[in-house]
Amino acid sequence: MKLFICLFLFLTPTLNFDFKKNILSYSIVISKADLIVDGTISGVSKGKYEFTISQFLKGKSNAKINVTIWEEWMCDGRAGDLKKGQRLLLFLEKTSDNSYYPINESTGELFIEKDNSPSPSMYMLEKFPNATVIKSGIKMFIDTYKVHGNLNDRFLQNVYFQSNKSIFEIYKLKETNKFFKYLVDDELQYYDIKESPTKSLF
């Protein structure tokens, strides 16, 4: 038994368990989403919760939808309890059974507190304490950029963004919304950006 334990401890550092969550940037999550909505949980059942939508940011659906409850694990825990009345900002993909699933699990399921702030587990809470700013930035991003390439490719090798606004217009938008500025300056720097050929600098 001692030999087995020693052998396991010796080999563990060489094994790749791949426990780390694959993080998707919000620029990709927004682009990938079939539906981005603000609303509240109206009921919870086994494996799903019913969600009543108060605002559509992207896509359209019935006012009430079913959302599959994703399974928590050691590298991705839920920010709060799924209970009736809990407000959420959801980034969703439609599934084959006509329900929806949060993109990248916790990334696509943001808990919004009574003071309109996102849950403490949200990695950008300190920069963006107000859900209104986040929602406005999402709408600006959707209106400005279109993604091209295979978003289901784990490494997103051939993905690029096309802007329909000039550099000057984008600069002005960044000045009015911190979340849009974050998406453009912090996240899009890792992707190729192509400006629409019909747009000039001014």
Residue range 54-80, pLDDT digits in tens: 999 999 999 999 999 998 888 877 878
Residue 95 sits in which domain range?
Answer: 26-195
Domain assignment present for 21: no
Domain assignment present for 82: yes
The rounded distance, in Å, linking the Cα atoms of 128 and 126 is 6
**CB 144 within 8 Å of CB 179:** no
List the single range of 63-72, 97-106, 188-197 with lowest mean pLDDT.
188-197
**CB 159 within 8 Å of CB 147:** yes
pLDDT of residue 80: 83
Q: Which of 57, 67, 51 is nearest to 33 (CA)?
A: 57
DSSP 55-116: EEEE----SEEEEE-PPPBTTB--SS---TT-EEEEEEEE-TTS-EEETTGGGGEEEE-TTS
pLDDT of residue 112: 94
Provide the pLDDT confidence category of residue 186 given band limits of 50, 70 and 90.
very high
Average pLDDT, the chain: 86
pLDDT of residue 12: 44
Domain assignment present for 35: yes
**CB 38 within 8 Å of CB 89:** yes
Question: ∠ at Cα 128 (111, 114), nearest 5°?
Answer: 40
Consecutive H or E run containing 174: helix 167-176
The CATH number linked to 83 is 2.40.50.140
Domain assignment present for 20: no
Domain assignment present for 44: yes
Domain assignment present for 74: yes
Above 80 in pLDDT, residue 202?
A: no
Joined together, the tokens standing for residue 80 give 């709060």
Give the Å distances, CA to CA, from 112 to 87, 103, 116, 140: 5, 17, 6, 20
Structure confidence by residue, pLDDT tens digits, 135-175: 999 999 999 999 999 998 988 989 999 999 999 999 999 99
Domain assignment present for 2: no
Provide the domain count of the chain.
1
Name the DSSP letter for residue 188. Answer: G
Domain assignment present for 3: no
